[in-house]
Structure 1
């Protein structure tokens, strides 16, 4: 059977697990939104109790359990695929060298536990920051508490029976994009309204409505502004899901591949000095300049790649690397092993 290339294995795993992680994130947000009791949030806002209103949203880390499991599945698949694609080897005694990946490995379990906890904590804290800002601004501007709560939780779609267009699930910067978009569309200033039309994630089906209002010198009514902003918010949530899924899938696969090779080294089946890591970029004009320079460079298994930014990385998507080197990265790593040398070394060690 012909071995697949590292790139083929990587692309297959990415295509499988990225949509699963994205959906797990969106399902968690849907669970949070579906369980909001709007009346309680409004009552607390009427008392000026921002902290109480946030507590009433129940932004619990436990809602992201499925996301954590999806990341663990990607990690496990990455490790299993790595060892499954290693060549069939026979040692000098005639015995087959058996490569295995253990997700139950203490180091693997510890990484998954710590990474998942950190990720979910960051997601929840980021939401709290954005929601607190939106609630505080709503109160300070004298906005109706119910309208403020609806801007957070979203408004009910009568056709689907579900809330849409809130800001739950967005990052704090994305919440600011939504707030500024609402200000632009609520303004009677043509320049501000035109600026909304430069937003890449807007729903372009509303462009004619906005252009007509600008041409007629009229202000958009509140209901229209709400509809437009709701669609914009939903699209930003989709973007958040896409970016998170891409980053987390590639990180899990990269870490699993590195751990899988290291488990074989720890078990004595291959030797660290016989392993070379080779960086491969996606090979297009979307690749970071720092990663274009790294393309094709090689280092030993325990050595680090050094970016032009000064950052050091064990592999693409290294969870210990700076986020500006990780987010949106599409690079992958090839591990080149001198299996013959490792088998010989192993045999000599056993004979000694």
Structure 2
């Protein structure tokens, strides 16, 4: 699918999700900007990762370029670098923690005029750590994608030189975002997943701090892209400290980072509060 198409889908998803939050015009404008900043930061990090990998591949000899074991070592070596660990985790924190706080604060202010949202609460710290735990899984997906692409190139090449050339081509395409795990589609997937988790996580904490919300109700997103397990979860009501049963996962909220990948990736679901 074209880059423009993915951007349109992401915009539609964001609009649907933002409609579910108790936001005034100014808050919504800020949240939309935070969504965009988060997406841009993920795009930037993935571009840097792709370039770092391509630079490492370029330094290999023709003999090593057609050895999948050696290519795997390069992937692991690059992933152990700062771009694949420290900087990615920091980017996730910087980009999506503000979403958590704004969503939580807006829900709290809508429910209670005499309570003040705390940006230093323990729940926010726990959430940030859980969100950052998704980074190793993302890097693992990148490694698997590139390994399969390299294996295919080596298998298709007729001579050692042709195989090496194909491997370099795969690396170059990935670095440009034309193919592989560093493209626009994946950037949007990661950003969408993180945004949903941050906003829904903030909502739950805002409800807790209000002390007038006793429970939460799962609201499935509409459309053909909604997973069957999420449609089945629609209408589930749970206490604030109890998880929803969604497929094989127990989720505290839609997009919960502790859930299985198949239940949180690009989730568009949200929740309603249940009052006393």
Return the TM-score normalized by structure 1: 0.58
Q: Tell me how far apart the structure 1 counterparts of residues 231 and 78 of structure 2 sit (CA, whole Å).
A: 47
* Residue in 1 that maps onto 2:102: 77
Answer yes or no: is 1:270 the counterpart of 2:211.
yes
* Residue in 2 that maps onto 1:329: 267
Answer yes or no: is 1:246 the counterpart of 2:271.
no
Q: Is the 8 A contact 1:151 1:165 kept in 2?
A: no
* Residue in 2 that maps onto 1:313: 251
Change (3 A) 1:240 1:280: same
Q: How does 1:226-241 map to 2 (within 5 A)?
A: 237-241=183-187
Change (3 A) 1:104 1:131: same
SS in 2 for 1:103: coil
Q: Tell me how far apart the structure 2 counterparts of residues 246 and 239 of structure 1 sit (CA, whole Å).
A: 10
Residue deviations 1:15-68 (CA, integer Å, cap 9, x gap): 443332222111112222344435314567358432454336866323423233
Change (3 A) 1:297 1:138: closer
SS in 1 for 2:59: helix
Q: Tell me how far apart the structure 2 counterparts of residues 47 and 281 of structure 1 sit (CA, whole Å).
A: 47
* Residue in 2 that maps onto 1:281: 220
* Residue in 2 that maps onto 1:17: 34
* Residue in 2 that maps onto 1:29: 46
Q: Is the 8 A contact 1:31 1:63 kept in 2?
A: no
Q: Tell me how far apart the structure 1 counterparts of residues 99 and 129 of structure 2 sit (CA, whole Å).
A: 14
* Residue in 2 that maps onto 1:151: 170
Relative contact order (alpha carbons < 8 A, sep ≥ 6): 1 or 2 greater?
Answer: 2
SS in 1 for 2:226: coil
Deviation larger for 107-116 or 19-28: 107-116
Change (3 A) 1:115 1:46: closer
Change (3 A) 1:44 1:109: farther
Change (3 A) 1:331 1:6: same
Q: Which runs of 5+ in 1 are unaligned?
A: 89-96, 156-161, 170-236, 339-352
Cα displacement (A) at 1:332: 1.2
SS in 2 for 1:257: helix
Answer yes or no: is 1:129 the counterpart of 2:147.
no
Q: Tell me how far apart the structure 2 counterparts of residues 66 and 133 of structure 1 sit (CA, whole Å).
A: 27
Q: How does 1:143-292 map to 2 (within 5 A)?
A: 143-154=162-173, 163=176, 165-169=178-182, 237-262=183-208, 264=209, 270=211, 275-292=214-231
Q: Tell me how far apart the structure 1 counterparts of residues 143 and 19 of structure 2 sit (CA, whole Å).
A: 43
Q: Is the 8 A contact 2:22 2:107 kept in 1?
A: no
* Residue in 1 that maps onto 2:71: 50
Structure whose alpha-carbon radius of gyration is higher? 1
The RMSD of aligned alpha carbons is: 3.4
Q: Is the 8 A contact 1:275 1:300 kept in 2?
A: yes
Cα displacement (A) at 1:70: 0.4
Q: Tell me how far apart the structure 2 counterparts of residues 302 and 314 of structure 1 sit (CA, whole Å).
A: 7
Answer yes or no: is 1:104 the counterpart of 2:120.
yes
290, 293, 298: which one pairs with 2:237?
A: 298
Q: Tell me how far apart the structure 2 counterparts of residues 33 and 50 of structure 1 sit (CA, whole Å).
A: 14
Cα displacement (A) at 1:127: 1.5
Q: Which runs of 5+ in 2 are unaligned?
A: 1-17
Cα displacement (A) at 1:151: 1.2
Cα displacement (A) at 1:164: 5.1
User: Aligned residues, how many?
Assistant: 244
Q: Tell me how far apart the structure 2 counterparts of residues 312 and 321 of structure 1 sit (CA, whole Å).
A: 7
Q: Tell me how far apart the structure 2 counterparts of residues 248 and 8 of structure 1 sit (CA, whole Å).
A: 19
